[in-house]
Amino acid sequence: MTLTQAVRSTAPGKTTPKRAGRTRSEAKRAAPAFYWMVWPAVIAFAAFHTVPVIVGIFFSFTNYAGYGAWNFVGISNYLNLFRDDRVLQAYGFSFLFAIVATILTNAISLAIALGLNAKIKARNFWRGVYFVPYILAILVIGYVFQFFFSNSLPKILAGIPLFRDNILTNDTWAWTAIVVLAVWQGCAFAIIIYLSGLQTIPAEMYEAASLDGASAWRQFRSITFPLIGAFFTINVVLSLKGFLQVFDPIVALTNGGPGTSTESVTLLIFRGGFSGGEFAYQTANAVIFFIVITVVSLFQFRVLQRREADF
Amino acid sequence: MSNRSRPLRRVAAVVAAGAVITLLGGCASSADSEVTTLNFFQFKGEALEDFDEMIADFEAKNPDIRIRQNQVADADTLIRTLLVKDRVPDIITLNANGNFGRLAQAGVFHDFSDEPVLKTINPAVQEILADLGTYGDEVNGLGYVNNANGVIYNQDIFEEQGLEVPETWDEFVAVCDALVEAGITPFYGTLADSWTGIPSWNALGAYPAQDDFFDKLRAQGEDVGPDSEVSFQKDFGEVMDQQLTLFSYMQEGYRGRTYDDGNAAFANGESAMLLQGIWATNPIKQVNPDIRMGIFPYPGTDDPDDRLLVSGVDVVFTMGKDNPKQEAAMRFIEYAFQKDVIEDFAASQNMVPSVVGAELSDDAALQSVKPYFDDGRITGFIDHQVPPSIPLIPIDQEFLFNGDAESALAALDNEWRKVAARTIPVTTGDDE
């Protein structure tokens, strides 16, 4: 807060004496109100995000347990991470989960968005229905789904051993149940973005295409999809980033189990760092994970943006 | 199991931390030479009122001492914070888990070796504390009340079926078979709460863990494996087989049931036994106050005389090293260990008092474990010896789901090796 005040008091102080001679640059400058809108966010972001991140990176080079004394240990935390098969398994799980969930979320939401954009009856009602999962708290849905998987489904599909024995306790397939929950909830927001994308496409394009005799599939392939390319990019990048950091659906459904078979990187960091007493070690893991996510997101933007079309 | 109430404790931790710091500040500034005010760090929420009564009685007899009880949430974290800041409470109670052992090893607690009160305590209880860790040869805590980790059984069902309490492993399996034949579910499984697999693992694992198993395991560190002197793969095979055998006698759908479901089902006579500890008897009685139940130790051996009851020190008394108010604090601790005082407390908490000769309450479950305490045939929880960064509970739960003992034991050895390799002890600093 003191920083904001300092900024405000110095800014007019500098400019007042020179005001007469510098009318040109004065006109170019934005009104102070705009700076007022920007500064609080920057300061809050620095105080609550950037500073803790830097402190965290610092402690990843120590053997700090979260309390008490510590020493510098160099990069040994990072070296041990690459030798820890539990960590590697968590990365494997997170990527498998994120890729499958991203593909499903985008395919399903694009299909639903096309339907919701068409001239169907009670269109606003359907749009509302598909947005509901986004409003509900994830832990509430999580426990509903947990009841569904462990109590309802075993009775409904009693003939299939996988479901009868509660899929959440199957170490090979428990992750698919988490995908179902995550996709069910993730679709709501993706649909909204695709809908807004679809509404930017002028209707004349479709008229022209249908006059030329283009089929519905051809229209989708050559008009709709290229023109919502930017929306596709943002959806894929956001959902992959979000699904890589999956945490709450796992806590609600399996809590990482059975065993450690559905332990994501974020869950491992939380567990090992707080209840496991290996604060510094898991902070090193968090630093690596941060870098991985940044690289993956930048790579996606590069690849996907090349494919976007404009009109 | 103190683990269960952790989320709640964490919520209140900040509030409690604030309260303690304020109180400590108050202590320092009060210059009253007549009355000594002692700050009492108390971790057990259920015991708040019992300690309040004890303190009131003590203050009535000792007008020169005032005691302020601070019932704290998330005591393990808070006590570390206080120790780091050199704001050590005058009297401390803690749950004697692995965390207590690590603090004791750091040499932050008083040495009770020469205190006369030590001689009144059951040596087997103090042995459990010593196994957790001490500073040199010191005695860093006084065990107050103990719990018991055994098989809870419905005495009415056992009598109706003409069954005796099993004393060997074969008898145990025979009892289960007889119950199945009579159409009664032997155990009610609750694996939806993953930790409920651990009480039976602790009890059965206590047998191979005798003879300093964990000391040897720690000494081997990075070299633990199937070929080392001791390892999970080498010594725990039978434990896993036994645990899996017990879980094969569970009711249908035990994978989806929770701890609370199990207590309610057992209280209503849906199963003859429950693989839990004495902490479950209170919730069971809330469902069915008339139930008659007892506890027997897991008979993991073929010789009835080798049976051991796994018991943890639920409340341990200690205080900081070089406490200026040591003499006053010791007076309260000695008062707490008087027979009638500890008897009242233990009866109210449904625990076993540590003082030799102190009577247990009439509770049938407590009376059934009394002989093991009298004979000193008790041993500690082995999961307190496993570093918390090893995912013991998930590994055991997965094993109970898929029955693959070899991979579960290999996973435990592997985690032990990795934790040993990456744990770099702090070499400087003032608190550890």
Tell me the per-residue pLDDT of A283-308, one tens digit each, with 9 for 90 and over: 999 999 999 999 999 998 888 887 77
Chains A and B form CB pairs within 8 A to the count of: 97
Mean pLDDT to the nearest integer, B406-420 = 93
Residues of B in contact with A275 (CB under 8 A): 388
Mean pLDDT to the nearest integer, A266-281 = 87
Residue A311 binned pLDDT confidence (cut-offs 50, 70, 90): low
3-class DSSP state of B182: coil
Report which residue type is found at B120.
T
pLDDT above 80 for A71: yes
Residues of B in contact with A256 (CB under 8 A): 391, 394
Residues B3 and B198: beta-carbon distance below 8 Å: no
- Calpha distance A279→A275 (Å, rounded): 9
Of B193, B103, B182, B197, give the one whose Cα is nearest residue B149: B197
Mean pLDDT to the nearest integer, A258-287 = 89
Q: For residue A165, what is the nearest residue in chain B, using CA coordinates?
A: B253
The alpha carbon of residue A92 and the mean position of all alpha carbons in its chain are separated, in whole angstroms, by 18
Class of the domain covering A84-306:
mainly alpha
3-class DSSP state of B390: coil
pLDDT above 70 for A160: yes
3-class DSSP state of B301: coil
Residues B320 and B109: beta-carbon distance below 8 Å: yes
Q: Which residues contact B44 (CB under 8 A, 6 or more apart)?
A: B71, B93, B95, B314, B315, B349
Q: Residue A68 and residue B84: Cβ atoms within 8 Å?
A: yes
Choose from A78, A84, A155, A254 for mutation: most chain B CBs within 10 A. A84
Nearest to B256 among A166, A170, A278 (CB): A166
Write down the pLDDT at residue A155. Answer: 87
Residues of B in contact with A70 (CB under 8 A): 426, 429
Write down the pLDDT at residue B78. Answer: 85
Q: CB of B80 within 8 Å of any CB in chain A?
A: yes
Choose from B401, B423, B432 for mutation: most chain A CBs within 10 A. B401
Residues of B in contact with A68 (CB under 8 A): 80, 84, 426, 429, 431-432
Residues B296 and B304: beta-carbon distance below 8 Å: no
**More confident call, A278 vs A175:** A175
Residues B3 and B195: beta-carbon distance below 8 Å: yes
Nearest to A259 among B80, B395, B418 (CB): B395
Of B259, B106, B122, give the one whose Cα is nearest residue B188: B259
Residues of A in contact with B87 (CB under 8 A): none
Alpha-helical runs (H) found in chain A: 2-15, 23-28, 32-45, 51-59, 76-83, 85-117, 123-135, 138-147, 153-156, 161-164, 174-198, 203-211, 216-219, 225-227, 229-244, 248-253, 265-270, 279-307
Q: For residue A77, what is the nearest residue in chain B, using CA coordinates?
A: B422
B183-193 residue pLDDT tens: 999 999 998 88
Q: CB of B4 within 8 Å of any CB in chain A?
A: no
Residues of B in contact with A71 (CB under 8 A): 424, 426-428
Write down the pLDDT at residue B85. Answer: 73
Write down the pLDDT at residue B6. Answer: 47
- Calpha distance A155→B253 (Å, rounded): 11
Residues of B in contact with A261 (CB under 8 A): 398
Q: Which of these ranges, B79-93, B103-117, B316-330, B343-357, has the smallest mean pLDDT? A: B79-93
3-class DSSP state of B76: helix
The alpha carbon of residue B392 and the mean position of all alpha carbons in its chain are separated, in whole angstroms, by 16
Q: Is the pTM of this model over 0.80?
A: no
Q: CB of B407 within 8 Å of any CB in chain A?
A: no
A72-111 residue pLDDT tens: 988 999 999 999 999 999 999 999 999 999 999 999 999 9
DSSP codes, A213-238: T--HHHHIIIIIHHHTHHHHHHHHHH
Nearest to A276 among B77, B388, B432 (CB): B388
Q: Residue A76 and residue B422: Cβ atoms within 8 Å?
A: yes
pLDDT above 90 for B353: yes
Residue B388 binned pLDDT confidence (cut-offs 50, 70, 90): confident
Residues of B in contact with A85 (CB under 8 A): 414
Distances (CA, A) of B72 to B95, B146, B315: 12, 20, 14
Q: CB of B81 within 8 Å of any CB in chain A?
A: yes
Residue B212: HSE in the Cβ half-sphere, 13 Å Cα cutoff: 7
Q: CB of B406 within 8 Å of any CB in chain A?
A: no
Check if the interface score ipTM surpasses 0.85: no
Q: CB of A255 within 8 Å of any CB in chain B?
A: yes
Tokens of B169: 């492993």
Report which residue type is found at A40.
P
Report which residue type is found at B227.
D
**B432 vs chain A: nearest CA distance in angstroms?**
7
Q: Residue B397 and residue A257: Cβ atoms within 8 Å?
A: yes
Provide the percentage of residues in chain B whose pLDDT is more than 70. Answer: 91
**B100 vs chain A: nearest CA distance in angstroms?**
14
B32-42 residue pLDDT tens: 457 899 999 99
Q: Residue A278 and residue B418: Cβ atoms within 8 Å?
A: no
Q: CB of B428 within 8 Å of any CB in chain A?
A: yes
B140-198 residue pLDDT tens: 999 999 999 999 999 999 999 999 999 999 999 999 999 999 999 999 999 888 889 99
Distances (CA, A) of B129 to A87, B133, B135, B192: 34, 7, 12, 31
Looking at residue A274, the DSSP 8-state letter turns out to be I
Domain boundaries, chain A: 84-306
Residue B246 binned pLDDT confidence (cut-offs 50, 70, 90): very high
Average pLDDT score, chain A: 86
Provide the percentage of residues in chain B whose pLDDT is more than 90. Answer: 63
Provide the percentage of residues in chain A whose pLDDT is more than 90. Answer: 49
pLDDT above 90 for A256: no
Q: Which of residues 76-95 of A touch B (CB under 8 A)?
A: 76-77, 80, 83-86
Residues A253 and A149: beta-carbon distance below 8 Å: yes
Q: CB of B86 within 8 Å of any CB in chain A?
A: no
